[in-house]
Each structure stands twice: as C-alpha cells, then as structure tokens.
Amino acid sequence: MRLSKGQRKWFLGALVCVALAALAAILADTLLARLRPTLDLSAYCGEPTVSERGRTTLMETSGTLSVACVLPSESPAAAPIGLLLRKFAQVSREVAGATIELEYVDPREDAGAAARIMAQGANGPGLLFRQAGRRVFVPERDLLTAQGSVYDPVEAETAVTAALMRLSAEGVTVGWLTEGAAEGQPAYADTDPMDGFSGFRRALEREGIRIVPVSLQEAREIPESVSALLIMGPRHDLSTAERACLAEWLDRGGRLLCALPPAGDLGLSPLLEDWGIRVEATPRVPSRNGADGTGLADRLTDNHPITRELTEGGAQVAFVAPRALRMATTDHGTPTATQSTDATTTLRTGSVDHGSVTVTPLVSIDTLPTETLPERVATVMMAAESGSGMGADLAFHRGRVVVVGESGFATNRFTLGHASANRDLAVNAVRWLVELPGSGASSGAGVLRVGQDSRAWRLDFAIAVLFVPMTLCLLLWLATRRHG
C-alpha cells in the first residue's frame, strides 16, 4: 500500500515530533542525573507519621506519661499537632509501649487549666511531657519551620520523639571550643541563614544535649562535666599547650568532633595523625552537584552507628568544597591502610597506649580529578575509636574522634531544612561520641528527591528514549495504515 503525499508529510512530521520528544527526554534525564536536585515539601505534608526512630522510642518507653498540648486555636500547629499526638498514642498501643494520656488546652478559652499546666513546667504555648516526676517542655516554635510561621511535620515529629527520649535519659553536656583555635568563628548561637550554627545547636538541644563554651586558652583544661568537645571550623591554629591539653584529654577517654576549615592544618594534624587520620591540604571539587551548586554524596558506610540508619533510608549529604581524609601511618610505623568506604581498618596509635585504634571511613564523595589529585572518590568523614583490641566487658572509657573535611556541612544552610541529611549526620556523630543509644536520624519525611543511581538512570533512559518513542511510532504507523 502506497501512502499519499499528504500522508507521507503527516507521518514524517509525526516522526520529527517523536524524535524531538526523545531528544528532550534525553536532555532532561541527563540533567536530572547530573544535578540530582531535591525539593523540600515537608511543610506541606498533612498526613502525620511516626518515624522508625519514634516507634523504637515508644517500644523502649514504659509506664504512663501525660502530654499536655497548650496551643491557641489560631496557632498553625494546633490542629496538626493534635493529630500527631493521637498518632503517637495509637502507635504506642500497637507496640505495647507506654500509656499516653493526652490533654488539649486552649489558653484563651480555659485560662484556669492553662495556668495549672504553666505551674507544672510549661513556659508558654507548646507541649508539656510528664512522667514519674520528670518534665520536658517543647515550645511552639520547635513545631514550626525555621521562619516560625508554618507547621512543619518533620520538625514536630522530631521534637516529640526527642522529648520522649529525654524523659528517660539524663542530660549530656558538650563543649564548643571558643577563642584560641576558634577565635572569631560563628558562634553556636549565630542565626545567620547560611553560616550560622543555630540549627545544629537547636537539634542537639532537642536530644537533651546542653552546649557550653570551652576555652583552652584561658582554662588550659577541659571541664569534667564536658562529655565531648566540638571544634567547628576554627580559624586559628591551636598552640602547643592547647594541643597537648587536648591530646591528654583524648588519651583519658575524651571525645572530639572536628570539622575542618577550607585551608590550614590548625595545629591539629599531628594530633589527628596519632588517631590514624590524615588531612589533605587542597579542597576537593564535587562532581555531582545539586540544584544550588552544592556537592552531593550518598556513599555512606552501613557498618557504623553514625551512618547506618541514613544509609538504610537512602539519604544524601551535601558539601561545598570538602577536604579529603586518608588513613595515616602512626608513630609505631604501621603501614597506611587502604582507604575504603565499606571496610573498617585497625591501626596502632602512638599516643594512646590502651590497645589499638579503629578507624572507619564514613562518607565519601565523587570529585573531579586534577593533575595533582587524580582520584575520583574522596573520603570526607572518618571516625576513630581507641581500645578496639580490648574486651567489651572491661571498664575502659574509649576515646573517640570524628573528623569531617568541611565545617560548613553543619551550618544553617543545610540544617534548617530537610532536603539533605546533614543535620542528622551531625547529630548522629555527637550522639555516638557521648554514647547516647539509638540514632537521631529523621530525614526523608516530606522530601521529594529527583535523583537516580546508574541502574535507575539506565532504566529511565530505556523507557523514555526507546520504549515510549517506539510505541508512538507503532501507533502512528497503525493509524496511518488504517486511514490509508
């Protein structure tokens, strides 16, 4: 059967349209695979949910606890927080956890009940948790977005879960290094939306962790009440005396989280190498970028408490220009271990004489190779623990160190939202250092991620470029033949 001239033009035009559609699909899919953008929709998700961390907390909670919700009816959190609390009560019955008694009070309609709850420990609108004489208050602002105007289901679920955990756990104090090595750095109270650390502090306080300033320059020692020390992007090197004080404290079982600045050894390099970690001088340029230009990493090890739950949830971590970390040769002459994201290597250390130090690569990121740095994958976060050669039943307080190749990973740029797992990663690192049980992971809820691994990308490519155009061509051929 021969097609008429008009039919041939119509058929060729349809084929051109299909080809253009296929080309657009190729370009769009390639762009998404390259950028892997994320869109945070958490503030618009209306269905209350209880995370796995929340379910685990309810399973480990027993007895009877009461929750008083003191919110005015016009509050954006009033209605959805009521649904969330009822969801927690329902899940608690399902997992045979604590018996949750709920009470809802509108302070404008029942001033007497509101005054009674205020006298019991509430400091304004919010939630008051009570059990066996212990009280935890969650203010209304912790249930809203960072701007404080929209109810945030992820923030609310995280705050409720953290309050339940704090009812059964004593508070922990961590120190934030100031002056000396960290003079002029953004304070943990800085609310700058890009470079401040107020979001990180807020997340730690929700876990029942108290932050206090620590100055090695003035005190020359770390207070006994401090369980761990945070060094976040110092701008000046530690002096010899400060480094010696810190090394002695770590030898006695101290805990350290060190987030490095873009350049300089800070005077920390000798100390970190004693713990089996060496820092490269040149920052790496990520090869996989998000829509805002930050590098994305989803190479997280699944054999460490800091990253295990994030790996199971398929979380992504964002960096700007991190410095790479390597296994170091220690004073005892141990050969440098092969760097890997899925293996734990045991090293002998020269500064800790209580056995060996276990160094675990936690996060790696794809980078652009250069003449001086040809590797395409760089490890940007490592954890080290002393005493790995000793039995678990021995009364030995293990020293722990976590090093991150970039201090910006925990700034408000990443911790005020949910489009990355940076906040969970930072909180998990501190929880592991101070030996809090479980994990602080909560990211993923209400987050739409447009990104694929290589296998998913090939499948999408085959569907968009082969299956769909071929199906359209077949339908066009059948329609043209039938019309003819």
pLDDT tens per residue across span 55-64: 888 888 888 8
Which residues are paired to 317 by β-bridges? 297
Select the highest-mean-pLDDT range: 145-159, 186-200, 336-350, 362-376: 362-376
Res. 131: pLDDT tops 70: yes
The mean pLDDT value of the chain amounts to: 78
According to DSSP, the β-strands at 356-366 and 345-348 are antiparallel
Res. 181: pLDDT tops 60: no
107-121 pLDDT, tens digit each: 988 989 999 999 998
Q: What is the pLDDT of residue 205?
A: 84
Among 69-73, 115-119, 366-370, the least confident range:
366-370
- CA–CA distance, 273 with 351 (Å, rounded to integer): 10
Q: What is the pLDDT of residue 432?
A: 92
> Per-domain residue ranges for the chain?
8-36+466-483, 43-167, 172-449
Res. 20: pLDDT tops 50: yes
Res. 388: pLDDT tops 90: no
* CATH 3.40.50 applies to domain 172-449: yes
394-426 pLDDT, tens digit each: 445 788 999 999 988 999 888 887 778 888 899
- For domain 43-167, the CATH architecture is 3-Layer(aba) Sandwich (3.40)
The verdict on pTM exceeding 0.85 is no
Res. 130: pLDDT tops 70: yes
Q: What is the pLDDT of residue 81?
A: 92
Residue where the block lists tokens 């489009």 = 419
